[in-house]
Structure formats: structure tokens, C-alpha cells
Amino acid sequence: MRIWLSKKSDVSVREQLVAQIILGIISQELKPGQKLPSTRELARRYQIHPNTVNAAYRELLQRHWVEFRKGSGVFVRLVVEASALEPANELDQLISEFLGRVRQSGFALREVQNRLEHWFDIHPPDHLVVVENDQSLRTILLTEIQDATDFTCNGCSFGEFSRFAAQAGCAPVTLYSRVEQVGRLTFTHPEFLFLHTRSMAEALAGERPPSPETLVGVISIWPEFLKWAHTLLTAAGVDEQALSLIPHADWVRQGNFRPYGFVVTESYTAKMLPPEVPIKVFRMLSDESLERLRRLHEGGEAPHHDTQEGPSRSVPTAERIRPK
């Protein structure tokens, strides 16, 4: 069995060795009962440390792919019990069959890797990573995206994003106001999708000001939401004397919403309030941003810019740019 090992890969040599031996067993290139090369032989053949080979063989033993025979060496197990098989084995089988056909067709491994990277790049992403330093705001953005799309979503700060940057199928998203922070990232990463917040007109569409005697509470896990909602509500004609901006710690402690005609909040906090509380939810992300995320999940292309021209051109809601 031929093994390819790259010492420049992000994947450790041990992991590469384990994966290729498992694929060899699944594809029956390595037969049940077949003896594997000794630790010293593999280390010398591929110019790697014997401890790396030992670690790989130990992992294969723990995962029930091989057995150690005292005085004889390492052998492919005669029977791999169904209970020992991993959920990933079906995928391993498919990969093994694919690599077998590739080898039979004479393609070089590097050529295969380059073409796979190309297809990963053009394939629609299967999960989003919301990159935002403010944890409260990040939680709200995650909630809005998950409510509006079928994407699997994770969240992290800009400092943590390097852990996600190289993941296949990952589409990083952040607010348009974070363009400069994205530009300061120094490691290789995929294109960011920049999202815009709702405009004043969009947020107030269809809203009517309450009667002067109605008390309005504003609640959020994110302190900046209180300021944002205050601006919107006063612009909509709500009397400032009727507004009560309630910090997160206060509303958790008090829990009394009876004085308020209704409570204004964001998507995440809305899920935490008792069902009897009358609420109005103000979303942070614009309708167009959420629609483009939905199209992206369905495999449609997210436009890089608005197609309108001239003075009336609107600001694009979501843009893909690759920082310099």
C-alpha cells in the first residue's frame, strides 16, 4: 500500500497515517490478517519519527482496526465488529472508493487536492460563522440568522476566527461596520459576507405611535440596543417621558412588566420573556441581508454589489469582499 504524507499540512503526520491506513483497510487494499510494516520500517521509508508511527498504531489499536501480536508485529484485524465501527466509516468508504478510482486513472495526488479545493471554494457554504467581538450583539445576530435561515451557525470574536478560517463549507459573516477589522486579519481566510443593519425607515415601517399615556419598556441583553431603540421610538413619536430603558441586570432582577403597555426588545431577549408580556421585536439585520443569506443557503449567488446606477443607487445590504 502506498502512503502519501505531507509535512507541511495543517493535519499532523500521525493523523494522515491513521486515516490512510483506515482507508486502505476499508477499501480492502489492506487485507484482514495482513501484517503492517514495522515501526522502524515506516519511519525510515517516509523519514518520520518512530514515535509518530507508534502513536498512529496505538490509535488504530484503540479504534479496533488493527491488533498487536506479541513478537510478530501489527496486523489488520480479521473481523471488525459492527459495534466498533464509527459513524464516519460510510464516508470513509466513499472516499476510499473515490481515491481508488483516482489512482487507477493515473491522476497525481496534488492534482486531486487542487481540484477538490476548487470545488469546495465554489460549492455553497453549509455553515456560517458570525464574527463579532461584542458577545451580546453576536448572540442577537446569531438568533436573527437562525430564525430566518436554515444555516447551521457558530459565533466567535475576531481573535478567535483563525480556528474557523480554513474550515471547508464555512462562510464568515459580520456587520458592514467591521470592514476595517476584517482588513487587519493577517491569516488566510475565505471571503467575508458583510451584512447591513436595518435602516430607520425599514425598522419603523407600519409602526404607529402609542397613545401618550402608554408606558413603553425597552429591554435587551445588549446595552447599545437601548440607545438604538430610544432613537427609533422617539423618531416614531413616542414621548420620552413614557419610555423606560431597562438594563439587562435590572429586568432580570425585577421581572415586573405590568406597568408597560408593551415592551420593545430584540430577537434573543424576546425568547426569554414570559409569554404574557406584550412585545414588539425590532430586528437588527435588514430584510435584504437576511434574504441574501437565504438565497446563499439555497445555492443561489449572493451579489457582490447592487446593480442600480446613478444618484438613486441604494447601499448594498450584503457584500462579499476579500480584504487586502
> Quick check: is 8 in a domain?
no
Kindly provide the residue ranges of all beta strands, DSSP E only, lying in 31-126, ordered along the sequence: 66-69, 73-76
Is the pLDDT confidence value at 35 over 80? Answer: yes
Residues 184 and 269 in one domain: no
With a CB cutoff of 8 Å and minimum separation 6, the contacts of 296 are: 124, 125, 171, 193, 302
> Quick check: is 158 in a domain?
yes
Residues 129 and 183 in one domain: yes
Residues 297 and 167 in one domain: yes
Is the pLDDT confidence value at 259 over 70? Answer: yes
Residues 193 and 212 in one domain: no
| Cα torsion angle, 265, 269, 271, 273, sign | negative
Percent of the chain residues past pLDDT 70, beyond the cut? 75
Is the pLDDT confidence value at 174 over 60? Answer: yes
Amino acid at 273: L
Local structure of 59: helix, strand or coil: helix
> Quick check: is 5 in a domain?
no
The domain containing residue 224 runs over which residues?
200-281
**For 285-315, what is each residue's pLDDT tens digit?**
988 889 988 888 776 544 343 333 222 222 2
What CATH number did the domain enclosing 23 receive? 1.10.10.10
Residues 92 and 240 in one domain: no
Whether 167 and 187 have beta carbons less than 8 Å apart is answered as no
**For 192-247, what is each residue's pLDDT tens digit?**
888 888 765 666 667 677 787 888 889 999 998 988 888 778 767 788 888 888 87
Residues 162 and 138 in one domain: yes
**For 48-99, what is each residue's pLDDT tens digit?**
999 999 999 999 998 888 999 988 999 998 754 433 445 455 666 677 778 7
Residues 190 and 293 in one domain: yes
> Quick check: is 225 in a domain?
yes
* H or E, element range at 173: strand 170-175
What is the C-alpha to C-alpha distance for residues 250 and 226, in angstroms, rounded to an integer? Answer: 13
Q: What was the pLDDT predicted at 124?
A: 64
- Grid cell 425585577 is found at 254
Of 92, 119, 146, which residue constitutes the final position of a domain? 119
Whether 35 and 75 have beta carbons less than 8 Å apart is answered as yes
Residues 22 and 84 in one domain: yes
CA neighbours within 13 Å on the CB side: how many for 56?
24
What CATH number did the domain enclosing 179 receive? 3.40.50.2300
What is the C-alpha to C-alpha distance for residues 51 and 71, in angstroms, rounded to an integer? Answer: 19
> Quick check: is 4 in a domain?
no
Residues 174 and 30 in one domain: no
- Domain total in the chain: 3
> Quick check: is 169 in a domain?
yes
Q: Report residue 173 as a C-alpha cell.
A: 459573516
> Quick check: is 71 in a domain?
yes
Cα dist from 161 to 174, 175, 180, 184, whole Å: 11, 15, 15, 12
Whether 127 and 154 have beta carbons less than 8 Å apart is answered as yes
Amino acid at 125: P
What is the C-alpha to C-alpha distance for residues 219 and 207, in angstroms, rounded to an integer? Answer: 18
Residues 138 and 175 in one domain: yes
Of 119, 136, 158, which residue constitutes the final position of a domain? 119
Task: Tell me the Cα Rg of the chain.
Answer: 28
Q: What was the pLDDT predicted at 220?
A: 92
For the chain, how far is it from start to end, CA to CA, in angstroms?
Answer: 44
- Grid cell 402608554 is found at 214
What is the C-alpha to C-alpha distance for residues 64 and 78, in angstroms, rounded to an integer? Answer: 10
Residues 216 and 324 in one domain: no
> Quick check: is 144 in a domain?
yes
Residues 95 and 217 in one domain: no
What is the C-alpha to C-alpha distance for residues 175 and 191, in angstroms, rounded to an integer? Answer: 13
Q: What are the helix (H) ranges across 166-218?
A: 179-183, 200-204
For the CA atoms of 154, 155, 156, 157, the dihedral, rounded to the nearest 10 degrees, stands at: 150
Q: What is the pTM of this model?
A: 0.56
Of 76, 97, 119, which residue constitutes the final position of a domain? 119
